[in-house]
Chain A
Amino acid sequence: MFLYFDTNAQDTVRIGVTGLTCSSCSKSVEEEMRKISFVQSIFMNLNSNEATVIIDDSQPVDWMKLAKSVYNAGFSIGYFYVPACGSSNVYFGQMSCGDVYHYIGSQQVLHPQEYYVLVGKFFMDKKTFGKWEKQLKYLPKAMTNVPIYYYY
């Protein structure tokens, strides 16, 4: 129960950065992320190459901007786990997101304290996104080009 109420994870993004093999590379990713206005703090695990980003929820967030900072540093994203946030479609949680999001699966199982997998070609490796594309065939084509929450 204690962990349940320690809700800082609500404002925390976890990004698996791929292509990193040294601390200099990790640092260049972190320096790019630090330029973003809604980023409050960053903790980069130099061995697992997972960036834990604390979000300033007083600012509007844009996950694509955060993802692009990784690519700007010259690296890629393996996974992108985000907390729940509101969008023009759905309001959920404390933050407001600039993008339009679509939930995959039943929204009844969503919970604000959980992480969600952000699905999109900029938010995961190509192989994983390819698998998602096959699963998402039933969705309208336009919807597969925008970030998608998935219950984690």
Chain B
Amino acid sequence: MWRIISLILINFISVLVHAQELFPDAEPASTVPKGVFGYRLMHKSFQETSSYRIKNWYGIRVMYGITSKWTISTTLGISNHHFQKFPTDIYNYFFNHHLNIYPAPGYHIEGLNFYTKYRFFSLDKHHQHLRLAVFGEGCKSFIAHDDAEPTLMTDNSGVGVGLIATYLYERFAVSLTGGYLKPFKYYQSNIDITFKSGNSAYMELSTGYRIWPAAYSSYSDFNINFYAEFMFKEYGAAKVEQYGVPVDFAYYSQSYPYAYLQLKQNAYIDSRFYLQLIENSNSRFDLGFAIPLVSRSYTYWGPMFLVQYQTYLYNDKKKVKNKPISSR
């Protein structure tokens, strides 16, 4: 059913030829204005089908424009996805922690993501622009990550680099992001275990369209944008070692298939659809959902619901009020 809805939406956006670049999920090649702070509050939620538990992720992101071309941001994530440490019985953990017979992990600070982006090419024309940017990111995670898929959005320590190309024409926006992720090893001394997610490459295609208004009358016009984002991602198998000996979960693929799928190499295409409401040309509210299209990510169960709020804090050193010029 979800796949049918996705295909209908894909057809819908292919017919439309117009959007905006305030992509809820992907970063555009555009940057935060120089000297401006912004923040974003994020919430993702899904039901873990195997345990019927609701899994939540909360994030707060602070961003800043160092120059007109260089942006930095940091994101703090809190979730009930993982345990802070692996338990002593590692096999029982990997086989059963997605079932409701296993204790729930509770909420923890997942980690900190650091992101930097540099826009190195701009071609601006009337009502259109093309921009290219490079980015790098790093993450320090404070939890025991247990998936083969690395995600640096706070739940996996590691580094990543990538390239973004964004094109806007009138009300339509499209952006292509290609990136590579290299997760770091997680080591836990009390049970002498090393866990390393696979290296990953991904490509993200994001499109957006401004539904309302067709033409602006003022900054207070309420904006409604629609976004569709598609992520192709591949990653290698997780490497688990305990007491210096590799743990091969493929051996348990028949008896514990989910543990095996969660730890093996994989490739998938994910889709995310959002409605975005913008108030006063600054504060934006995004509401959407994510569903798998081809294969799936084992880091969540679809559909995953996403809500976020973002605003820029303009630093008005000298605030100008629009007032009529004095007559001569």
Contacts and interface: CB of A to CB of B under 8 A. Distances in A.
Interface stretch (B156-164, B251-259, B290-298, B319-327): B319-327
Given A24-B278, A40-B323, A18 B126 contact: yes
Interface in A53-87: 54, 71-76, 78
A20 interface: yes
Interface in B107-158: 119, 122, 124-129
Nearest to A71: B68
A72 B34 contact: yes
A47 to B, nearest CB: 5
A22 B34 CA distance: 18
B206 interface: no
Contacts of B184: none
> Which size bracket describes the interface of A in this complex?
35 or more
B33 A32 contact: yes
A144 interface: no
B127 A125 contact: no
Contacts of B216: 23, 46-47
A39 interface: yes
Given A7-B328, A22-B223, A49 B33 contact: no
A49 B284 CA distance: 21
Given A8-B325, A36-B318, A74-B30, A21 B68 contact: no
A43 interface: yes
A145 interface: no
Interface in B12-53: 20-22, 30-36
A interface secondary structure, majority: mixed
A120 B36 CA distance: 27
A44 B168 CA distance: 20
Interface residues of B, number: 53
Contact of A34 (B173, B318, B328): B318
Interface in B282-328: 282, 284, 312, 314-325, 328
A54 B326 CA distance: 11
Contact of B124 (A24, A32, A36, A75): A75
B316 A18 contact: no
A42 B322 contact: yes
Contacts of A7: 328
A77 B115 CA distance: 29
B317 A35 contact: yes
Contact of B316 (A16, A34, A40, A47): A34
Most buried by B among A20, A22, A42: A22
A111 interface: no
B265 to A, nearest CB: 39
B328 to A, nearest CB: 7
Contact of B322 (A18, A43, A78): A43
A19 interface: yes
Interface of A: 7-8, 11, 16, 18-24, 26-28, 31-37, 39-43, 46-47, 49, 54, 71-76, 78, 125
Interface of B: 20-22, 30-36, 65, 67-69, 119, 122, 124-129, 168-171, 173, 210, 215-219, 221, 223, 278, 281-282, 284, 312, 314-325, 328
Q: Which 10 A-B pairs have the closest CB atoms?
A: A19-B124, A46-B216, A76-B124, A19-B129, A72-B34, A23-B281, A18-B124, A27-B281, A31-B314, A34-B320
Given A18-B129, A21-B173, A74-B34, 6 more contacts: A7-B328, A22-B22, A22-B281, A23-B223, A28-B36, A28-B314
22 contacts: A8-B325, A18-B124, A20-B127, A21-B171, A21-B173, A22-B210, A23-B278, A24-B281, A28-B312, A32-B33, A34-B320, A36-B318, A40-B323, A41-B320, A41-B323, A42-B320, A49-B127, A71-B68, A73-B34, A74-B31, A74-B65, A74-B69
